[in-house]
Amino acid sequence: MKEFYIPSDGIRLHAKLDTPEGFTKGPLVLLIHGFTGHMEEEHIVAAQQVMNEIGYAVLRVEMYGHGGSEGAFKDHTLYKWIGNALDVVEYVKTLDWVTDLYLCGHSQGGLLVMMIAGMRPDDFKAVIPLAPAWMIPEKARTGELLGIPFDPLHIPEELDTGEINGNLVLGGNYIRTAQTLHPEDEIARYRGPVLIVQGDEDEAVPLEYAEKAAKLYENCRLIIIPGDSHCYDHHLDVMVDAIRNFLNGLQ
Ligand code: FER
C-alpha cells in the first residue's frame, strides 16, 4: 500500500493505492466513500480487497471535507467533490502502468461516480455505483435532506442535521449546488457496463432509485440484496461477490 496526497483546487486529497501481489501493470479502480464516510469503512475496504484479489489496482481517495483530506465538512459540496474527482482522474491518466480505468463509489460517492462517468464516458471501462444516492439533487429541490425539511426556495445558511446524524452542520451551498445537478443526464451519457448493488432495506437510499437508475442506464446489472442496509452490514459478502462476478465477467 502506498499512501500519499493528490492536489486538487488548492487542497490535498488523502489517497491510498493498493495493488495485487506482483502487480506491475494493469487496470485501476478509483474507489470513493460516501457522505460523512472515509476510505477505511468496512464496505469500502471489502470492495478494495476483492478488486485487488482479482487483479485490479485500487486507488481510494477521500473527497473534500472527509477523512484525511483537507477542507471542512460544513463547506463540502457536490461541486467540490466533482472538481476533486475530475482532478484525481487527470492524475490517474498520467500513470503509465494503468491499462484500463474503472470507477466505484458508495452512496454520495455513487452519485459522484455517476456524474463523472457521464462527463468522461470514454475514459471508464465500467462503473460500479454502490447504493448510489442520486436522489440527493431531487431532494434538495423538493426540500428535504437527511430527513430534515427546509424551504427549497429560501435555503437556510446552515442545515443542522441533528443528533441522529452526529450533529453535523451542512452549509447552505451544499443544498444550493445540489439543486442544480441532474444525474439523469449523466446516466444517459454513459453507455458502458454498470453494476449497481443495493440493499432492499437501505435506510438512506430508497430501493426505487436503484431500480430507476438500472432502467435508465443502457447497460446495467442491478443486484438487490434482500434484508441488507445502506452499508451492507448484514450481507457484505454478497456485495463483494457481486463486484467479483461483474468484473470477472467483463474479461
Ligand atoms: C440524504 C440521503 C443520503 C443526504 C445524503 C445521503 C445530504 C448520503 C448518504 C451517504 O453518502 O452515505 O438526504 O443528504
Asked if the structure places residue 162 within a domain, the reply is: no
Q: What is the CATH number of the domain that holds 191?
A: 3.40.50.1820
Asked if the structure places residue 174 within a domain, the reply is: no
In eight-state DSSP terms, residue 147 is T
- What residue numbers bound the domain in which 110 lies? 2-135+182-250
Residue type, position 132, single letter: P
| pLDDT tens digit at each of 251 positions of the chain | 999 999 999 999 999 999 999 999 999 999 999 999 999 999 999 999 999 999 999 999 999 999 999 999 999 999 999 999 999 999 999 999 999 999 999 999 999 999 999 999 999 999 999 999 999 999 999 999 999 999 999 999 999 877 666 668 999 999 999 999 999 999 999 999 999 999 999 999 999 999 999 999 999 999 999 999 999 999 999 999 999 999 999 97
Number of domains comprising the chain = 1
Query: For residue 23, how far is its CA from the centre of ligand 1 (angstroms)?
Result: 36
Q: Which ligand 1 atom sits closest to the C-alpha of 34? A: 11
Asked if the structure places residue 142 within a domain, the reply is: no
Query: For residue 118, how far is its CA from the centre of ligand 1 (angstroms)?
Result: 21
Helices (H), the chain: 42-53, 78-92, 108-119, 136-142, 172-178, 183-189, 207-216, 236-250
pTM above 0.85, yes or no: yes
Please give the distance of CA 249 from its chain centroid, rounded to a whole number: 22
Beta-bridge partner residues of 119: none
pLDDT, position 163: 65
CB burial readout 47-75, b (16+ within 10 A) else e = bbebbbeebbbbbbbbbbbbbebbbebee
Asked if the structure places residue 220 within a domain, the reply is: yes
Asked if the structure places residue 152 within a domain, the reply is: no
Query: For residue 175, how far is its CA from the centre of ligand 1 (angstroms)?
Result: 12
Q: Are 130 and 239 in contact (CB under 8 A)?
A: yes
pLDDT, position 168: 85
Residue whose entry in the numeric block shows the C-alpha cell 473527497: 63
Asked if the structure places residue 143 within a domain, the reply is: no
pLDDT, position 162: 73
Using CA atoms, how far residue 125 sits from 115, 195, 236, in Å, is 15, 12, 24
145 Rama class: left (phi>0) / alpha (psi -120 to 50) / beta: beta
Beta-bridge partner residues of 183: none
Beta-bridge partner residues of 26: 98
Query: For residue 136, how far is its CA from the centre of ligand 1 (angstroms)?
Result: 7
Asked if the structure places residue 54 within a domain, the reply is: yes
Q: Are 57 and 17 in contact (CB under 8 A)?
A: yes
Ligand 1 proximity of 133 Cβ (cutoff 6 Å): yes
Asked if the structure places residue 193 within a domain, the reply is: yes
Main-chain phi, psi angles of 33, to 5 degrees = -75, 180
Ligand 1 proximity of 236 Cβ (cutoff 6 Å): no
pLDDT, position 240: 98
